[in-house]
Amino acid sequence: MTHSQTPPGDPPIGGDPDATTVLPEGSFAAGAAPDEALAKATAKAEQHYADYLRVLAELDNFRKRAQRDADQARRFAVERFAQDLLPALDGIELGEQVGEASIEAIREGAAATRRLLLKAFESAGISPIEPKSGEAFNPEQHEAMVAQPVAGQPANTVVQTIQKGYQLNGRVLRAARVIVASGA
């Protein structure tokens, strides 16, 4: 870029900042004075600054709205799950109100409550981890409580499940507690 092509107000590239910049002929519109060009440039700069402030305000409003939405989502995230649990709680409360009941009636009530809980779990994405005997031990989903030698069963396989585990949409909430076969 030559001195004659340097924009007004910019020092020549690699040159002296106090050097005078020569503007190419026809830099101003025909009949336009430098004061008019300055006024137009100033008006344009003010408009850009106003646009900048407006975008900045919109961005701030967006940030606040997103924060408010995230807060509400956290606050009410369990609402549906809680609504699904209410029938199970109702069943437990009804069972507590029964005076005398047969063992069979109590079992039926407990089974009905269990079904309601499992339905609520399923709708929330909670599923059981129930390793079967002979299944390979998976330390990400199983917690070994005991390791014991078992004839006819390979090492590092599940012998028995002591307590089921649960996962929420693939993420382990509680590992299944198991007995694992050890090498003989």
- Residue 3 is predicted with a pLDDT of 46
Which helix (H) or strand (E) is 177 found in, with range? Answer: strand 176-182
Residue 173 lies in a domain: yes
How many C-beta atoms lie closer than 10 Å to residue 25's C-beta? 7
- CATH code at 173? 2.30.22.10
Residue 139 lies in a domain: yes
At residue 173, does pLDDT exceed 80?
Answer: yes
Residue-wise pLDDT for 93-152, tens only, equals 888 888 787 888 888 989 999 999 999 999 999 999 999 999 999 999 999 999 999 988
CB 166 within 8 A of CB 126: yes
Residue 154 lies in a domain: yes
Residue 160 lies in a domain: yes
What is d(CA 37, CA 114) in angstroms, rounded to the nearest whole number?
A: 81
Residue 132 lies in a domain: yes
Residue 166 lies in a domain: yes
Residue-wise pLDDT for 14-65, tens only, equals 556 566 655 566 555 555 578 888 999 999 999 999 999 999 999 999 999 9
Residue 8 lies in a domain: no
Residue range 171-184: average pLDDT? 91
Number of domains within the chain: 1
The confidence band for 157, taking pLDDT boundaries of 50, 70 and 90, is very high
**Which residue is associated with the tokens 């409003």?**
61
- Residue 19 is predicted with a pLDDT of 60
Residue 30 lies in a domain: no
The confidence band for 1, taking pLDDT boundaries of 50, 70 and 90, is very low
Residue-wise pLDDT for 66-107, tens only, equals 999 998 888 888 888 888 899 999 988 888 888 787 888 888
Q: What is the pTM of this model?
A: 0.59
What is the residue range of 178's domain?
127-184
At residue 164, does pLDDT exceed 90?
Answer: yes
Compute and round to an integer the Cα radius of gyration of the chain.
38
